[in-house]
Amino acid sequence: MFLFPPIILASKSPRRQELMKLLGLDFRVVLKEVDESYPESLSPAEVALYIAEKKAKAFDEDIANEIVITADTLVCVEGQILGKPENDEHAFEILSMLSGRKHEVMTGVCLLKDHQLHSFVETSEVYFKTLSPEQIKSYIATGQPMDKAGAYGIQEWIGLIGIERINGSYTNVVGLPTHRLYEELLKLI
């Protein structure tokens, strides 16, 4: 194991926190409210990076000798960003759009150290089988889709029964591309 400087994870996502623990990283969670709006002219990958960097910049004056990790994960179909569902009907609409087709999951990650931003975007392709309306409604009834971009978690029931294959990083689809994050952290020590 490498000894990293103190790490702050600026994310309330339990999935990201669990992945950081699985990496064996010692970190603390610190949250700041950040406006996640972005210029409409940006591509989906640029949006993920823009928001991750915006979150990191909120810490720039508050840290010393620490690394802040921020991330933003989004789901898109044919260039259209699908956010978190607003309600059950919106979740049904999103999951119906993903059913039977490929979509992309993009995570922008930003590491802030010594007032310098080190950023990257990881993209994974996810292929859903055709889901029945009953399967989608059953999953929505669990409440699980409501806090997730694209209205699903790959590690949850809908992912287990519905995802045929992925091209790219599994942990990226969960919300944090751990292999790439670890590589980037090594560059900072």
Architecture category of domain 7-187 in CATH: Alpha-Beta Complex (3.90)
Q: Tokens 């990257």 — which residue?
A: 120
Q: Nearest-CA neighbor of 85 among 2, 189, 158, 3?
A: 158
The burial of 88, by beta-carbon neighbours within 10 Å (0-12 exposed, 13-18 middle, 19 or more buried), is given as middle
Average model confidence (pLDDT) across the chain: 96
Residue 189: predicted pLDDT: 86
Nearest-angstrom CA–CA distance, 159 and 69: 26
pLDDT at 101: 97
Res 73: pLDDT: 96
The residue-averaged pLDDT of 39-49 equals 97
**147 catalytic per annotation:** no
Q: How far apart are CA 180 and CA 8, in angstroms?
A: 17
More confident residue, 2 or 180: 180
Q: pLDDT of 121-172, one tens digit each?
A: 999 999 999 999 999 999 999 999 999 999 999 999 999 999 999 999 999 9
- Bridge-based pairing of strands 7-9 and 27-29 is parallel
Give residue 118's pLDDT: 98
pLDDT category at 45 given cuts 50, 70, 90 is: very high
Strands 80-82, 102-113: parallel, antiparallel or unpaired by DSSP? unpaired
For the segment 82-118, what is each residue's pLDDT rounded down to a tens digit?
A: 999 999 999 999 999 999 999 999 999 999 999 999 9
How long a stretch of residues is the chain? 189
- The 10s digit of each residue's pLDDT in 48-61 is 999 999 999 999 99
pLDDT (0 to 100) of residue 1:
60
Q: How far is residue 75's CA from residue 48's CA, in Å, rounded to a whole number?
A: 10
Residue 3 has a pLDDT of 82
Active-site residue among 26, 72, 114, 147? 72
Task: Tell me if 7 sits within 8 A of 189, measured CB to CB.
Answer: no
Q: What is the mean pLDDT of residues 26-46?
A: 96
